[in-house]
Chain A
Amino acid sequence: MPDSARMGKSLSAPASFQIFPLGDAAIVVKFGDSIDLELHQRVRALEKHLEEHSLEGMMERVPAYATVTIYYDPAQRSFHDIEQELRKILVVLADAPEPDPRIVEVPVSYGGEFGPDLEFVARHNSLTTDEVIQIHSATDYLVYMIGFAPGFPYLGGMSQRIAAPRRDSPRLKIPVGSVGIAGTQTGVYPIETPGGWQLIGRTPIELFRPQENPPTRLRAGDIVRFRPITVEEFASLRVNSQ
């Protein structure tokens, strides 16, 4: 039976964060256990700091809802060493100003062949399809994190009024750019993948652009606004973005 010290236990900290290892080559700073704006702001503040002040031996970082994971080279830094440095940063960081979000507009052609499940979402919520479009496009969505697929945004802020369950049987191929709803979440598919989300529309803009740096249009911390467009606008935007 391993005791927790031998297994590398979580270290509690006086302020409201925890630091613990993700194995021998990554370290996690955790601010809490929920999806909310305040934790997100703390994640952003640490991200901003690390973007401006790289740590020795740091290879990359992954911000998530309430954590920042830092991958490092154990040949250069020990866990203890990098943990101490992070603690010093986090104490000062409490007073750091909130970074300003970028606003990214995502044009969407709702319904029709691009949004085969729009009518289902409307019926499910006793709304018209126009009302679903109006509600979906009237909100500012916060990109809490990117994961699952390159450039796939975990968006916060969707109205409960257009929530809808996942499809009973997932589609084998969801076309690139599809905008979907699953439960109270909404998202955009940057690459073709299988999936069970209700598809309500499609964007002509590329969210994943592997030839560019950074390779995704959206980043954690961005604000997304969906703008309804016609099928004709979809076609012309598609041409212009290529």
Chain B
Amino acid sequence: MSIRVIRPGLLTTIQDLGRYGLQQFGVIVSGAMDPLALRISNLLVGNAPSEAALEITLSGPALLFERDALIAITGGDLSAVFDGQSVPLWRPILVRQGCVLEFRSPRRGCRAYLSVAGGFDVPLVMNSHSTYLRAQLGGFNGRPLQAGDVVNFRSASESATQQLRKLSERLSERPFVATDWFAGLDLAEYADDPTIRVMSGGQYDWFNKESREALVSEPFRITKQSDRMGYRLTGPTLQIIQPRELISEAVTMGTVQVPPEGQPIILMADRPTTGGYAKIAQVATVDLPVLAQLKPGAQIRFLSISVEEAQELYRSREAMIRRLECGIAQMNL
């Protein structure tokens, strides 16, 4: 069971929920930029939510399915088509052997996640399947997919096998068949010009009053110098009251740090483990998927919330995912 890469797309990598537990050794977390979309694509095909999936960026790949397979595509809408027919997102899809999945142009969002029932068969490296591009480790040979690669799957779970059987009855001559139900899109709360909720960063008090006000009153734009490591923003210049040296300390996904020139950077999945720039804010975990789907040029605004509010949002999001998980499991049976 495998897919063959005909065209790799701009940046197609294998990612899971990240490589945790080794940050104290300088090993970066990596993992999906949009962990919510990855978790849901896995649940839709009967996988554990942390299973490895393909992260597809902006301009997607062309993939030949060498066997019938149960898949799901979530996240951004990058115009997936099977043999010319548009593919619906956020639902289980049975793909016929020999069909080619392609992506036309990004319609909404930036990153799509493709899960296959059973998961991609790549070795665990330091307890994760995620691709660690800089160290050339993990994922598929430590690198983005290239034309000619053949990526194998493992065996599908019991629930996925049942869904696959149900869908096969409807497949007939078509390249693919999808369920008529879908799940999870509403949870992600994607938006094109979103308001991103932030808490204050460790050096929030270092910034002058104008900068602290500008942070939550002025819009910022995501520049082209944005990738899996971080998003460079452009907007009002954020300045600290007096030049101060910060000695290196830990950072995390969603940390908004400000180099001396005053334009903020939001650290994303491939961030380093530590940093020495002043941290003005920290994005709420629940809003990271929204950020992950933004393209260069997108405008964002920040809204300040408390840590307590962010944690409450986190817990209610997790409760919704658990309910979704139960719902999907029932629908697949």
Question: A: which residues have CB within 8 A of B?
Answer: 1-2, 4-10, 20-26, 28, 30, 33-35, 59-67, 69, 71, 74-75, 78-80, 145-152, 154, 190-191, 193, 208, 210, 214-216, 219-220
In the complex, which residues of chain A have a beta carbon less than 8 angstroms from the beta carbon of B25? Answer: 146, 150-151, 214-216, 219
Set of chain B residues within 8 Å of A9, measured between Cβ atoms: 200, 204-205
Compute how far the CA of A210 lies from the CA of B314 in the bound complex, rounded to whole angstroms.
32
Complex interface residues of chain B between 302 and 332 (CB less than 8 A to chain A): 304-308, 310-311, 313-315, 318
Shortest CB distance B227–A (Å) = 15
A63 to B247: give the CA distance in the assembly, Å: 12
Q: Report the interface size for chain B: residues with CB under 8 A from the other chain.
A: 50
Assess A75 versus B285: contact at CB under 8 Å? Given A22-B250, A24-B310, A151-B25: no
Tell which of B135, B248, B304, B313 touches A147, judged by Cβ atoms closer than 8 Å: B248
Please judge, given known A-B contacts A6-B306, A25-B314, A216-B25, whether A65 and B125 are in contact too, CB under 8 Å: no
Residues of chain B within 8 A (CB-CB) of A60 are: 20-24
Q: Which chain B residues lie closer than 8 Å to A7 at the CB level?
A: 199-200, 204, 304, 306
Nearest CB of chain A from residue B218's CB, rounded to whole Å? 13
- The answer for the CA separation of A71 and B202 in the assembled complex, in Å, is 15
In the assembled complex, the CB of B210 is this many whole angstroms from the nearest CB of chain A, namely: 11
A22 contacts which chain B residues (CB < 8 A)?
Answer: 201-202, 250-252, 255, 279, 282
Q: Is the interface of B mostly helix, strand, loop or mixed?
A: mixed
Within the assembled complex, what's the spacing in Å between the Cα atoms of A97 and B214? 47
Is there an interface contact between B202 and A24, defined as CB atoms closer than 8 Å? no
Contact partner, A67, options B26, B134, B249, Cβ 8 Å:
B249
Known: A7-B199, A22-B255. 13 other contacts (CB 8 A): A5-B306, A21-B199, A23-B284, A24-B313, A25-B252, A26-B250, A26-B252, A60-B20, A67-B250, A71-B20, A71-B23, A74-B314, A150-B27
A216 vs B26: C-alpha distance when bound (angstroms): 9
Does B283 count as interface, using CB distance less than 8 angstroms? yes
Contacts of B21 in A (CB 8 A): 59-60
With a cutoff of 8 Å between Cβ atoms, the chain B residues found around residue A20 in the complex are 202
How far does the Cβ of B155 sit from chain A's closest Cβ, in whole Å? 26
A78 close to B308 (CB less than 8 A): yes
The reply to whether A6 and B314 contact each other, CB–CB distance below 8 Å, is no
State A66–B307 Cα separation when bound (angstroms): 23
Determine if A146 and B216 form an interchain contact, defined as CB atoms under 8 angstroms apart: no
Minimum C-beta distance from A213 to chain B (A):
8
Question: Contacts A62-B23, A150-B135, A193-B134 given: A215-B204 contact, CB under 8 Å?
Answer: no
Q: Inside 8 A of B318's CB, which chain A residues have their CB?
A: 75
Interface residues of B in 180-225 (CB under 8 A from A): 199-202, 204-205, 212-213, 216
- Contact check, B247 vs A65: say whether CB atoms are below 8 A apart: yes
Q: Which residue of B254, B273, B285, B304 contacts A2 across the interface (Cβ within 8 Å)? A: B304
In the complex, whether B97 has a CB less than 8 A from a CB of chain A is no
Q: Which partner residue on chain A sits nearest B209 by CB separation?
A: A1
Residues of B within 8 A of A62 (CB): 23-24, 249-250, 273-274
Nearest-Cβ distance from residue A170 to partner chain B, whole angstroms: 16
Nearest CB of chain A from residue B325's CB, rounded to whole Å: 14
State which of B212, B247, B314 has its C-beta within 8 Å of the C-beta of A66: B247
